[in-house]
Amino acid sequence: MKTSFVIHGLTALVRFFFSASLIFLVATSASNAAPAGVGQMFRLDGGDTTYIFGVNERGELQALYWGGKLAPGDKFPEAHSLPEIASFDPPSTTTPQEYAAWGSALYTEPALKITFADGNRDLVLHYVSSKSTGSSYEVLMKDISREIYVTLRYAMDTESGILARSAVIENREKDAVVVEQAAAAQWTLAPSRYTLSYLTGRWGAEWTLNQEPIQGGSRVIESRRGTTGHQANPWFAISRDDSQKSNGPLSAGEEHGEVWFGALAWSGSWRFTIEKTQLESVRVTGGFNPFDFGYKLKPGEKLETPIFYGGYSNHGLGGASRILHKFELQHILPQSPNPKPRPVIYNSWEATEFNVDVAGQEALAEKAASLGIDRFVMDDGWFGQRKDDRAGLGDWYVNKEKFPNGLKPLIEKVHSLKMDFGLWVEPEMINPDSDLYRKHPDWVLNFSGRPRTESRNQLVLNLARPDVRDYVLGFLNKLLTENDIAFLKWDYNRNWSEPGWDAVTADEQKKVYVEFIRNVYWVLAELRKKHPKIEIESCSGGGGRVDLGILRYTDEVWPSDNTDPFDRLSMQDGFTYAYTPQIMMAWVTASPHWLNGRNTTLAYRMLSSMQGSLGIGDNLNKWSAEDFANAKRLIAAYHEVQKTITQGDLYRLVSPRDDSEFSSTQTVSPDKSQSVVFAFTVATKQGRLFPLLQLQGLDPTAKYKLTAIEGKAIKGTPESASGDWWMHHGVNLDLKGDYQAAMFRLDREH
Ligand code: DGJ
């Protein structure tokens, strides 16, 4: 007989959450035979983090602990399901499962939802077996009666404590099934008060950091656009409130407090559901976006989800982002574990737009070389019948009117100026006014007989099709084989519409959401295999495709088409919560700025861009001799400290958010021998002085020499002092007025 233990009031339940003492509160017993693996525990340690889950008495895999590192000998209580709440919420809902399938009575967000051929939609996963290699687990689960198997993968990075989780769903039934929802992972945080941080935006305004209390119910952040999207980024951070109060405003500390964070490695439609359950715990479910999802699995077929990375820091959001930056550098980027600092580039887009030709590009290249630029990149306009954005995409042959002898003469010129050469491409797109479209109108995403919505006069090639995938790889390979090209700026200037795939049967069409992205990754991987020296930028009309999936194949990203140096301060601030400054390309462009007419000095523009990987995108034909001299000096200074800026530990000293008048960041090299500080004013009020900069992360006892690169510290600041002095006494900058900028470096003395 079914037994139940009803508790009136949630407080008691909350107290028992994650606790073995629940054993005496056994709620239900579904079958007589004991499920496999009951009592088994799985523990992963890495960095300052421990992660534990186990098999409960019902056979479910249950989340037990994610947080600060526990001592090796600490015994963790066995998993035990949570009791029902009255008659409305049975244990299948109250128990935090590691990967909850939609079945039984599950009312919280499921990780997995399947429809079987006979109409059954009930799926209940129980533990079967597991394999371990020490820092990783593969845990096999199976439905209680049907032949659906799910393998949960866990791999802990022992240095950073970042856990990589994903799932493989396998159909061993005799008939096909349709997977309607498949998360990569579900993360559980113990009951507490939390603040959620997440990034949103739009074209020209990406990387806004939002912070809000996590309250009852669900918060969804997602993309339904077939791509990562400008509107939200697949990253989250959750800070525990440490104010010791049970009410009042929440705080998310920059350098203190516990933070859990996660990032999904997927460049297609995605969804995170952040849910505060009735028991006050917080669950984050993330993976493929279930909207319009339906992945048919024939007997014997499998669906593998993307990887959802999760980590923990006890040093606030700053600590969390430093862990993530290092992890990206060491484990995600194509050149990991030791990516080279990015070459300083010149890009001609804002100077010439589509009007590229040999003479114009060569003139710009000469000027760029005189500044100490490492790489010259020719942007849009060099191919097909491309005069503007109305034609040419898809026709990847060199435009003979603009480049009568092909690209070689320009490339040779660029090489003779001691720079390498980069080129813009937009491989997944097609203009209806192109030879390719006239030949293959069926190659685009579309529903037969329905209108095809154009954006920027272009349609999306259906990369899920093997012939399209091969065409894209073919022309890119030819381009790189025939020309000495060091770098591709890979653009992607619209989102999907009418996402039909009419070459396959109706019940297979929705696979486009998965196969398209996999094929993009495949093309990128093949290209890198065939041309191991190639470097690639992920650009999507700015920051529309930045995620840990594309970053496995691309060396840098274009965060935004908005290059206004002031707007960039807060965008770069938001960006670095999730991504390392190494990949954050930042160009110096014209003043007044085309977007808002704002006037800024060259120094302000240079320093704003020097916070990331530097580029120059202005029309050099309009520069004065003084501009050239200033930029040359600053580029030389940047080259000297670039590795510290882009690969060091980042501290946000003064935030540009919330209408701040000031902003400042500091980076420290991993061996603490060097530090670089940037400071900016905005619209200062009432003559306020620049805030005291108490530096961070230095070696307290070592002596550091301060060198000003731009601007100055107030009179009386020592030239050299201990780390303790710079961190406790701090630096007062002599920085007054609107739109002023300063930069200095500290070098450890021997
Ligand atoms: C959008 C990119 O973000 C720009 O930098 C530029 O490459 C244009 N596309 C070219 O069409």
Q: Is the CB of 424 under 6 A from ligand 1?
A: yes
Q: What is the mean pLDDT of residues 490-518?
A: 97
Binned at pLDDT 50, 70 and 90, residue 13 comes out as: very low
Ligand 1 atom with least separation from CA of 539:
3
Q: What integer pLDDT is reported at residue 29 of this predicted model?
A: 37
What is the pLDDT averaged over residues 489-507?
Answer: 97
Q: Which of 491, 536, 557 has the most ligand 1 atoms within 8 A of CB, as the residue to mutate?
A: 491
Ligand 1 contact, 542 CB (< 6 A): yes
- Residues with catalytic function: 491, 561
Mean pLDDT of 18-33: 39
pLDDT of residue 489: 98
pTM: 0.95
Ligand 1 centroid to 455 CA: how many Å? 14
User: Which residue's CA lies nearest to atom 2 of ligand 1?
Assistant: 541
Angle at 516 between CA 513 and CA 522, to 5 degrees: 140
Looking at residue 246, its pLDDT comes to: 63
Which atom number of ligand 1 is nearest to the Cα of residue 424? Answer: 7
Query: For a substitution probing ligand 1, which of 230, 388, 556, 558 has the most ligand atoms within 8 Å of its CB?
Result: 558
Q: pLDDT value at position 10?
A: 39
Separation in Å, CA 104 to CA 28, 100, 120, 608, 716: 13, 10, 12, 55, 72
CA 20 – CA 15 distance, rounded (Å):
11
- Residue among 383, 345, 379, 374 nearest 361 (CA): 379
Structure tokens at 64: 């037990």
286 or 13, higher pLDDT: 286
Q: How far apart are CA 325 and CA 342, in angstroms?
A: 15
Q: Is 381 in the pocket of ligand 1 (CB under 6 A)?
A: no
Residue 233 has pLDDT above 60, yes or no: yes
- Residue 31 scores a pLDDT above 60: no
Average pLDDT, the chain: 94
Shortest-distance Cα residue to atom 3 of ligand 1: 541
249 — pLDDT class (breaks 50, 70, 90): low
Ligand 1 pocket, residue 380 CB under 6 Å:
yes
Question: What's the 461 CA to ligand 1 centre distance in angstroms?
Answer: 18
Is 492 near ligand 1, meaning CB less than 6 Å away? no
Mean pLDDT in residue range 606-616: 98
* Cα–Cα distance measured from residue 209 to residue 699, given in angstroms and rounded to the nearest whole number: 31
Residue ID of nearest Cα to ligand 1 atom 11 = 380
Q: What is the mean pLDDT of residues 348-377?
A: 97
The verdict on the CB of residue 426 being under 6 Å from ligand 1 is: no
Q: How far is the CA of 380 from the centre of ligand 1 (A)?
A: 7
* Span from the CA of 422 to the centroid of ligand 1 (angstroms): 14
Say yes or no to pLDDT of 743 above 70.
yes
For ligand 1, whether the C-beta of 539 sits within 6 Å is yes
Q: How far, in Å, is the centroid of ligand 1 from the Cα of 431?
A: 15
261 CA distance to ligand 1 centroid (A)?
Answer: 31
Q: What is the pLDDT of residue 687?
A: 86
Which atom of ligand 1 is the closest one to the Cα of 541?
3
Q: Are 88 and 105 in contact (CB under 8 A)?
A: no
List of long-range contacts for 333-337, beta carbons under 8 Å, 24+ apart? 333/551, 333/552, 333/555, 333/582, 333/583, 334/528, 334/536, 334/552, 334/553, 334/554, 334/555, 335/555
Per-residue confidence (pLDDT) for residue 1, from 0 to 100: 31
Is there a cis peptide before residue 83, judged by omega within 30 degrees of 0? no
493 within ligand 1 shell (Cβ under 6 A): yes
Please identify, by atom number, the ligand 1 atom nearest to the C-alpha of residue 540.
3
pLDDT value for 683:
82
Closest by alpha carbon to 309, among 130, 166, 132?
Answer: 166
pLDDT in the model for residue 19: 42
pLDDT above 50 for 575: yes
The pLDDT tens digits of the residues spanning 402-422 come to 999 999 999 999 999 999 999
Residue predicted with more confidence, 113 or 35: 113
Q: What is the pLDDT of residue 25?
A: 30
Query: Which atom of ligand 1 is closest in space to residue 542's alpha carbon?
Result: 3
Nearest CA to ligand 1 atom 1: 541
Span from the CA of 356 to the centroid of ligand 1 (angstroms): 14
Ligand 1 centre from 597 Cα, in Å? 20
* Average of per-residue pLDDT across 554-566: 98
Ligand 1 touching residue 297 (CB < 6 A): no
- Evaluated on CA atoms 308, 309, 315, 318, the torsion sign reads negative
Average pLDDT over residues 617-636: 98
Distance 542 CA to ligand 1 centre (A): 7
Q: Would the CB of 349 count as within 6 Å of ligand 1?
A: yes
Confidence band of 685 (pLDDT split at 50, 70, 90): confident
End-to-end CA distance of the chain: 77
- Inter-residue contact 65 to 50 (CB < 8 Å): yes
DSSP state of 141: E
User: Would you say residue 669 has pLDDT above 60?
Assistant: yes
Give the number of the atom of ligand 1 that is nearest the alpha carbon of residue 353: 10
The C-alpha angle 218, 220, 225, rounded to 5 degrees, equals 160
Q: How many angstroms separate the CA atoms of 174 and 257, rounded? A: 51
Residue 353 C-alpha to ligand 1 middle, in angstroms? 9
Regarding the beta carbon of 560 and ligand 1, being less than 6 Å apart is answered: no
- Ligand 1 and 491: CB distance under 6 A: yes
pLDDT confidence of residue 6: 33
Q: Is the pLDDT of residue 716 over 80?
A: yes
pLDDT for 342: 98
Ligand 1 geometric centre to CA of 329 (Å):
26
Mean pLDDT of the region 47-64: 98
Closest to 123 (Cα-Cα) out of 141, 137, 140, 139: 141
Which residue owns the Cα nearest ligand 1 atom 9? 541
CA nearest ligand 1 atom 5, residue: 561
What pLDDT digit, counting tens, does each position of 280-328 carry?
A: 999 999 999 999 999 999 999 999 999 999 999 999 999 999 999 999 9
Ligand 1 neighbour 615 (Cβ under 6 A) = no
Quick check: 229 pLDDT over 60?
Answer: yes
Given pLDDT bands bounded at 50, 70 and 90, which one contains residue 14?
very low
Of 23-32, 74-83, 84-93, 582-591, which range is least confident?
Answer: 23-32
513 CB near ligand 1 (under 6 Å):
no
Please, what's the b/e burial string for 628-648 (b: 16 or more CB within 10 A of its CB; e: otherwise)?
eebbebbbebbeebbbbbbbb
Q: Which of 346, 356, 380, 538 to mutate to test the pocket of ligand 1 (most atoms within 8 A of CB)?
A: 380
**Is residue 28 pLDDT above 50, yes or no?**
no
Calculate mean pLDDT across residues 4-30. 36
- The pLDDT of residue 248 is 66
Assess whether pLDDT exceeds 60 at residue 747. yes
For 124, the 3-state DSSP assignment is coil
Mean of pLDDT values over 138-152 = 98
CA–centroid distance for 29 within its chain:
43
